[in-house]
């Protein structure tokens, strides 16, 4: 039934910031670790992260201030204790990354340079290579040399009487069974639910589906963050180049074709308002003027090409010179704020199943993630989750069902069309119903190819997202309902779902501390 078998104390799925940080931590704590990744060493969302890492600055900043900004952005749904815990872990995580060889940009004073992004009250975001922070983090982690089985897609987490007991993978050597008491999901997000996204092609919600099918809960999946400024080119679909919020942090302005500000009068922080506010303002202006993009005016930023080399290259490839031209931009899917429910150690409710990074819902992001808090979370929770996973060493791995189950699968194009049209920046009941009906057309299939596995994961995640978005009859954070424009105090809770008797069902609705 399986073409090959192996054993490890810990199996990590995903080779981005959270996965490799966890793998290193588990190894340091004496576990044998195998990391599996369906792509290659740089096919991760981490690789594309531009702006940087939000970490409390040594002067003029405080943990309290970073916590406050995170909770403001999170629109009432952050878990304060989780936010404090993760923000407090930031400095140590950056020291560890620097010890590993990551190099961050320095200012003229020789100190680490810090920029500002939407929702931050101060300049606290450290960056590398100008706008290539993720690439530097990925380089440093890859250079640490953790063993990674590339080209291996996780298909099924097996559980037995002691919790997790194995992972089935599709690899170039056929179907493999890895006996293990600990599986750590670090699979990233779900940008491929939508036609345009900043995410790499592999962002297909794999961890959400693996987690749900293994018995974990998911929460806050209705909160999909649309980045306000993604390079617009006519007909462009798939992974679209990001124009980092740091560009606005350095002074660029959002304008419509008439040259009028998009955010004037919308929020006290103007173009540096939290991301959901800016995306909604752009969406409203596009709707009002009947246009498909607006502009970012970055012409006042001197030395743009040196400060933002990656963005400059993307713009030049599209025939735009940011030094002399307005940059056409539109919102696109960027980040999944919810995910598999974990504590701040990465533990799910299933013994031996952990999650860290974008796939996880720790309570840090609430209804809208604060800019540059994602690499921070991957580093801090990845480290802790690796340690916890290593503690499972020696747990017997018996009694699991190792067959890859049948799953509902909808064709990718139909799924993306349904969500893009009906569940993007602004939603309503009718559109959500149309999308849910489209998803209900999914056929039960054997998921024994990588494509089928991905489409099955997207289908299940779309189902959960639409259920939560339909049930949330209010507007909050990055979930905006045109038919329920107000925020309702009665709905200040996370919506959780799990698979019960083979069906996706709401579990308890969990309130957050006031």
> What residues are annotated to the active site?
275
Contact criterion met (CB below 8 Å) for 117 and 273: no
Residue 257 beta carbon to ligand SIN: minimum distance, rounded to whole angstroms:
23
Q: Which of 337, 371, 380, 425 touches ligand SIN by CB under 6 A? A: 371
Q: Report the residue number, 372 or 475, with the smaller CB distance to ligand SIN.
A: 372
Q: Which residue has the tokens 């809770």?
A: 493
Q: List the structure tokens of 18.
A: 């959270």
Q: Report the residue number, 245 or 276, with the smaller CB distance to ligand SIN.
A: 245
Q: Report CA 323 to chain centroid distance, whole Å.
A: 31
Residue 244 interacts with ligand SIN (CB under 6 A)?
yes
How many chain residues touch ligand SIN (CB under 6 A)? 11
**How far apart are the C-alpha atoms of 406 and 299, rounded to whole Å?**
54
Q: Report the residue number, 371 or 389, with the smaller CB distance to ligand SIN.
A: 371
Give me the residues paired with residue 431 across strands: none
Q: Which positions from 401 to 440 touch ligand SIN by CB under 6 A, shown as an x/- string? A: ----------------------------------------
For ligand SIN, which stretch binds (CB under 6 A), given 305-313, 369-377, 445-453, 476-484? 369-377
**How far apart are the C-alpha atoms of 358 and 100, rounded to whole Å?**
22
Identify the H or E element spanning 446.
strand 443-446
Q: Report the residue number, 51 or 322, with the smaller CB distance to ligand SIN.
A: 51
Of residues 84-123, those binding ligand SIN (CB under 6 A):
117
**How far apart are the C-alpha atoms of 352 and 196, rounded to whole Å?**
35
For ligand SIN, which stretch binds (CB under 6 A), given 72-80, 168-176, 242-250, 414-422? 242-250
Of residues 288-327, those binding ligand SIN (CB under 6 A):
none
CA-wise closest residue to 468 among 506, 414, 426: 506
Q: Report CA 14 to chain centroid distance, whole Å.
A: 13
Q: Which positions from 34 to 73 touch ligand SIN by CB under 6 A, shown as an x/- string? A: ----------------xx----------------------
Residue 291 beta carbon to ligand SIN: minimum distance, rounded to whole angstroms:
22
Q: Report the residue number, 34 or 141, with the smaller CB distance to ligand SIN.
A: 141
Is the dihedral angle over the CA atoms 253, 257, 258, 264 positive or is it negative? negative
H helix intervals, 129-271 = 133-143, 206-214, 245-249
CA-wise closest residue to 123 among 205, 54, 184, 24: 54
Binding site for ligand SIN (CB under 6 A): 50-51, 117, 242, 244-246, 335, 371-372, 374
């Amino acid at each position: 039934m399986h073409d090959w078998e192996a054993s490890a104390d810990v199996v990590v799925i995903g080779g981005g910031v959270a996965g490799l940080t966890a793998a290193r931590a588990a190894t340091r704590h004496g576990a044998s670790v195998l990391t599996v990744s369906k792509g290659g060493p740089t096919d991760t969302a981490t690789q594309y992260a531009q702006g940087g890492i939000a970490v409390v600055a040594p002067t003029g900043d405080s943990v309290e201030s970073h916590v406050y900004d995170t909770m403001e952005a999170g629109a009432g749904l952050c878990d304060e204790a989780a936010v404090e815990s993760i923000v407090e872990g930031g400095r140590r995580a950056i020291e560890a990354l620097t010890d590993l060889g990551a190099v961050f940009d320095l200012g003229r004073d020789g100190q680490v340079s810090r920029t500002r992004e939407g929702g931050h009250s101060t300049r606290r975001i450290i960056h590398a290579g100008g706008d290539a922070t993720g690439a530097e983090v990925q380089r440093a982690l890859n250079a640490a040399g953790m063993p990674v089985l590339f080209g291996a897609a996780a298909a099924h987490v097996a559980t037995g009487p002691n919790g997790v007991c194995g992972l089935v993978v599709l690899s170039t050597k056929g179907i493999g069974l890895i006996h293990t008491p600990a599986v750590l999901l670090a699979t990233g997000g779900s940008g491929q639910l939508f036609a345009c996204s900043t995410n790499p092609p592999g962002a297909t919600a794999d961890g959400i589906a693996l987690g749900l099918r293994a018995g974990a809960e998911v929460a806050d999946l209705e909160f999909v963050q649309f980045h306000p400024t993604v390079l617009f080119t006519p007909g462009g679909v798939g992974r679209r180049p990001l124009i980092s919020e740091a560009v606005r942090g350095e002074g660029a302005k959002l304008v419509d074709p008439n040259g009028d500000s998009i955010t004037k009068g919308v929020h006290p922080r103007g173009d540096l308002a939290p991301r959901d506010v800016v995306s909604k303002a752009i969406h409203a202006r596009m709707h009002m003027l009947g246009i498909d993009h607006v502009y970012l005016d970055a012409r006042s930023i001197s030395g743009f090409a040196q400060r933002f080399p990656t963005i400059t290259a993307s713009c030049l490839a599209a025939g735009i010179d940011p030094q002399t031209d307005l940059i056409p931009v539109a919102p696109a899917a960027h980040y999944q704020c919810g995910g598999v429910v974990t504590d701040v150690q990465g533990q799910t409710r299933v013994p031996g199943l952990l999650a860290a990074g974008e796939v996880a819902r720790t309570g840090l992001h609430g209804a809208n993630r604060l800019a540059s808090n994602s690499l921070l979370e991957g580093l801090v929770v990845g480290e802790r989750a690796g340690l916890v996973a290593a503690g499972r060493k020696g747990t017997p791995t018996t009694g699991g069902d190792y067959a890859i189950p049948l799953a509902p699968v909808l064709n990718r194009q139909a799924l993306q069309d349904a969500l893009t049209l009906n569940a993007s920046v602004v939603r309503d009941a009718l559109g959500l119903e149309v999308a849910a009906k489209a998803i209900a057309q999914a056929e039960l299939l054997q998921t024994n190819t990588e494509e089928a596995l991905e489409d099955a994961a997207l289908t299940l995640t779309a189902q959960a997202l639409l259920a939560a978005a339909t049930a949330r009859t209010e507007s909050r954070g990055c979930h905006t309902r045109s038919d329920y424009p107000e925020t309702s105090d009665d709905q200040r809770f996370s919506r959780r779902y799990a698979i019960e008797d083979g069906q996706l069902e709401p579990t308890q609705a969990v309130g957050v501390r006031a």
